[in-house]
C-alpha cells in the first residue's frame, strides 16, 4: 500500500524586510508635494496660444487687403493724371455778344395784293406793305399760272431764315439766322403755314417773325408779323 504524500506547491511568501516590530518602526514613504495656489488645466495655455495665433493671422490678412487697396488707388490716380496730361487744353472761346429784345409789335397783319408777275416790298420796321424798294426788308414776287409767289430778302434786311414753327422768340430767330440763313438770291415759296425770321438793318434793328396765313390765286397773300427791338 503506497503512501500518498501531499505536496504543497504554494510558493513561499516573500520575506518582509521590515517585520512588524514595535521597537523598529517601518520608514514612511515620501509624499508628493502639492503646489500652493489655484490649479489650471493642462491644455489651457495651448488654447490661448491658438487664439492669439488666429487673431494675428486675421490682422495680417487685413493689412494685406489695406495694402492692396492702397496700391490700386495709387495706380488709378496715376492713370487719371496721365489722361489729364494727354488731353488737349480747352480752347478759350470769346463770349457771345449779349443781346436783349423788347417787343415792338405783336401779330401785326400785313396784306399783299398784286397782279400777275408783279413785285411788292414790305417794310417790317413799321410794319408796312407796298414800301419803297430801299426800305423793303422782304420782296414779294407774284407769279402767273400755277407757280406760287415767292419771298426774298430785300435791301433793308441784314439776314433771314426759314423756320418750321411760330413757337419761337427773338433769341430763337437769331439762332436760326446764325445757323441756317437764307443765302444771297435764294427765295422762299409763299405757302400757307410758311414762317420766316428776318433781321432788319434799322437803328435800332428789329427781329421779325413773319407767318403766311393764306394765299390767293391772283397774287394775294395774308401775313402777320411779330417784332422785337434788338439792343446791344
Q: What is the DSSP string of 70-101?
A: HHHHHHHHHHHHHHHHHSPPPPP-PPPPP-EE
Chunked into runs of 10 residues, the chain (232 residues) has average pLDDT values of 47 52 54 54 57 75 74 72 58 49 94 92 95 95 88 96 94 96 93 96 95 89 96 72
Q: Distances in Å between the alpha carbon of 85 and those of 74, 120, 157?
A: 17, 62, 48
Q: Is residue 202 part of a domain?
A: yes
Domain span at residue 188?
100-231
What is the distance, to the nearest Å, from the Cα of residue 111 to the centroid of all Cα atoms in its chain?
50
Distance in angstroms (rounded) separating the CA atoms of residues 157 and 213: 22
Q: How many domains are there within the chain?
A: 1
Kind and range of the H or E run holding 46: helix 44-86
Is residue 20 assigned to a domain? Answer: no
* pLDDT of res. 225: 97
The reply to whether 107 falls in a domain is yes
Nearest to 104 by CA among 211, 204, 232: 204
In a domain, 57, yes or no: no
Amino acid at each position: 500500500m503506497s503512501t500518498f504524500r501531499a505536496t504543497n506547491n504554494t510558493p513561499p511568501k516573500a520575506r518582509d524586510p521590515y517585520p512588524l516590530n514595535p521597537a523598529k518602526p517601518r520608514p514612511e514613504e515620501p509624499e508628493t508635494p502639492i503646489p500652493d495656489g489655484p490649479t489650471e488645466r493642462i491644455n489651457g495655455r495651448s488654447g490661448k496660444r491658438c487664439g492669439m495665433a488666429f487673431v494675428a493671422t486675421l490682422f495680417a490678412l487685413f493689412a494685406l487687403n489695406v495694402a492692396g487697396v492702397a496700391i490700386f488707388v495709387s495706380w488709378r490716380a496715376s492713370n487719371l493724371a496721365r489722361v489729364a496730361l494727354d488731353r488737349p487744353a480747352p480752347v478759350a472761346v470769346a463770349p457771345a455778344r449779349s443781346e436783349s429784345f423788347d417787343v415792338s409789335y405783336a401779330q401785326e397783319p400785313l396784306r399783299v395784293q398784286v397782279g400777275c408777275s408783279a413785285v411788292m416790298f414790305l417794310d417790317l420796321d413799321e410794319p408796312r406793305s407796298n414800301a419803297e424798294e430801299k426800305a423793303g426788308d422782304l420782296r414779294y414776287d407774284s407769279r402767273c399760272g400755277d407757280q406760287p409767289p415767292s419771298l426774298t430778302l430785300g435791301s433793308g434786311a441784314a439776314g433771314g431764315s426759314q423756320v418750321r414753327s411760330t413757337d419761337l422768340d427773338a433769341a430763337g430767330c437769331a439762332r436760326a439766322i446764325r445757323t441756317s440763313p437764307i443765302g444771297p438770291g435764294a427765295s422762299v415759296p409763299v405757302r400757307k403755314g410758311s414762317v420766316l425770321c428776318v433781321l432788319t438793318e434799322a437803328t435800332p434793328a428789329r427781329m421779325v417773325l413773319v407767318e403766311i396765313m393764306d394765299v390767293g390765286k391772283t397774287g394775294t397773300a395774308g401775313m402777320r408779323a411779330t417784332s422785337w427791338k434788338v439792343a446791344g
